[in-house]
């Protein structure tokens, strides 16, 4: 076991897969000599050279299209978005090309590529650098979407994503890079389509993902002191959603709270609730409650920014309200 920061866990995953497979390469802005904005690719250009750790111009639509084309020919590109918000500039290449080509070619082409980078509300990064784009991409057929939340699952998920033969959108949170944990010294993978049972309980199911996992766990400490026994599930896979794990939990708790940093309108929580209503509505003893970010551009002002997202006390209050 070794103490590893989340950004280093992502770096280790990239390094291990590049060492095993010559078809894996990284491209993006400042991924080479600068080492990436959050140092996920630090020093990899020394080991692999400037063609496998490829610095690109500031032209997201161009290098995303190049990545799709390289994947069609058998390479396995890892595209780093300096900020996931900027990938809106490549939305056409991601949706109409990466997501659809395997289908529109009748299976003649596979698109084994990973699109990864930081997103989420940071500390006063402004509206255009604080977006949560998971709901944007969730509606696109042909994509897999995951959101890491710990150094352990970050490394295992990225290794699985690189090895997958489908395009994977890999969300990292800008405020989680300095989390650290003890990781196994042996190789491991984490499945792309399974939720993680973070804590077992029998009073209420709390579903969350990414940074909100840590806000939920802070709230759980207070809830336990109050005599509640919540079950916590980290979705990890945002597409497909692991509805089987949710059904299994609800068959025990019969109450559901969904906590996300995504926008409330059309967010991931909305899709979770829709699937719960479709497949296991009768398990619920009370209406589902969702806690989501406000539907406004994230303010630059620190106090206003803080007011737009969910905090542990709101989670505590919602559980108390549901179970009273």
What residues act catalytically?
Answer: 60, 129
Distances (CA, A) of 309 to 121, 122, 273, 297: 8, 11, 20, 11
Q: Are 178 and 7 in contact (CB under 8 A)?
A: yes
For the chain, how far is it from start to end, CA to CA, in angstroms?
43
What three-state secondary structure class fits 223? helix
The DSSP bridge pattern shows strands 144-147 and 168-173 to be parallel
Q: Please give the structure tokens belonging to residue 132.
A: 């949560």
What three-state secondary structure class fits 164? coil
Q: Are 145 and 137 in contact (CB under 8 A)?
A: yes
The DSSP bridge pattern shows strands 114-119 and 256-263 to be unpaired
């Amino acid at each position: 076991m070794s103490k590893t920061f989340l950004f280093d866990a992502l770096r280790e995953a990239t390094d291990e897969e590049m060492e095993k497979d010559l078809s894996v390469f990284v491209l993006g802005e400042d991924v080479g000599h600068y080492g990436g904005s959050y140092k996920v690719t630090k020093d990899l250009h020394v080991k692999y050279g400037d063609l496998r750790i490829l610095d690109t111009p500031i032209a997201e639509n161009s290098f995303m299209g190049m990545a799709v084309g390289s994947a069609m020919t058998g390479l396995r590109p890892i595209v780093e978005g300096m900020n996931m918000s900027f990938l809106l500039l490549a939305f056409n290449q991601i949706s109409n090309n990466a997501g659809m080509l395997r289908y529109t070619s009748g299976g003649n082409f596979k698109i084994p590529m990973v699109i990864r980078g930081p997103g989420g509300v940071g500390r006063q990064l402004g509206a255009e650098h604080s977006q949560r784009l998971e709901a944007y991409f969730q509606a696109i057929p042909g994509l897999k979407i995951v959101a890491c939340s710990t150094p352990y699952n970050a490394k295992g998920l990225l290794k699985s994503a690189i090895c997958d033969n489908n395009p994977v959108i890999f969300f990292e949170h800008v405020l989680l890079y300095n989390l650290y944990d003890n990781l196994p010294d042996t190789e491991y993978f984490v499945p792309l389509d399974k939720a993680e049972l973070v804590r077992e309980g029998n009073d209420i199911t709390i579903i969350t993902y990414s940074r909100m996992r840590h806000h939920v766990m802070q709230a759980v400490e207070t809830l336990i002191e109050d005599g509640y026994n919540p079950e916590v599930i980290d979705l990890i896979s945002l597409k497909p959603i692991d509805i089987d794990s949710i059904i299994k939990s609800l068959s025990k708790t019969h109450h559901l709270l969904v906590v996300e940093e995504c926008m409330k309108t059309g967010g991931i929580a909305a899709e979770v609730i829709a699937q719960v209503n479709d497949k296991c509505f009768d398990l619920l003893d009370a209406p589902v409650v969702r806690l989501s970010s406000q539907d406004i551009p994230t303010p630059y002002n620190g106090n206003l920014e803080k007011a737009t997202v969910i905090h542990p006390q709101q989670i505590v209050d919602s559980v108390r309200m549901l179970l009273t």
